[in-house]
Amino acid sequence: MRVGTSRRSSWLLGLVLGCGGAGANGGATHEPVGEPVVHEAVVVRSTGSAPAAEGDACEVEVTRVEGAYFNCRVRVSCRGEVLYGLPGAGYNTCRMDGEAIRTAVDPNGTRRDGDPKLSLDLARGEVVVSDRDPDMELVLAIRSGEGPAGLTPEPPPGYGPVPGEPP
């Protein structure tokens, strides 16, 4: 009976270490390549228990990294709180266009890997941070020089275009 318990404990320890117990990236080191690129963003949709509200300013920091598993790290913060990419986390396999990061997807939520889900599409100017525990979703629009790029907030129910303007 003790042997079974010992094997189970060893297996659980291996699972914890392999899935992020020694850091979200499994203890592997990932060295930054160059300086992080910081994008200003604004919350265009906030649902559930999201820790930011529509209109809040946020930052999306993207850094290229070299390592065994991942080629980038993403950090999203709003209201001074890091929502995705806590220390030792936020590492992804990003799609690149030359040296520039274009997209990243982290399909695993907090229950699976310790941080929320992430969808980053810099070409569209969209970042989505979501989770099921707690249930929340934040949709951010990356700001360009003139305002949010790609996405615009949906008007509240009952509001439509100004009379005389096309819908």
Q: What is the mean pLDDT of residues 128-157?
A: 72
Checking if the pLDDT of 151 tops 90, the result is: no
**What are 71's two structure tokens?**
């080629």
Contact predicate 165/155, CB 8 Å: no
Checking if the pLDDT of 140 tops 60, the result is: yes
Task: Please tell me the least confidently modeled range out of 13-27, 95-109, 118-132.
Answer: 13-27
Residue 147's pLDDT is: 47
Q: What is the pLDDT of residues 47-72, one digit of tens each?
A: 999 889 999 999 999 999 988 789 99
Contact predicate 137/161, CB 8 Å: no
> Mean pLDDT of all residues in the chain?
76
CB contact set of 117 (below 8 Å; sequence gap of 6+): 106, 107, 108, 109, 128, 129, 130, 131
Question: Model confidence at 88, in pLDDT bands (50, 70, 90)?
Answer: confident
Q: For residues 111 and 44, what is the distance between their CA atoms, to the nearest angstrom?
A: 26
The pTM of this model reads: 0.70
Q: Based on the number of CB atoms within 10 Å of its own CB, is 125 exposed (0-12), middle (13-18) or buried (19 or more)?
A: middle
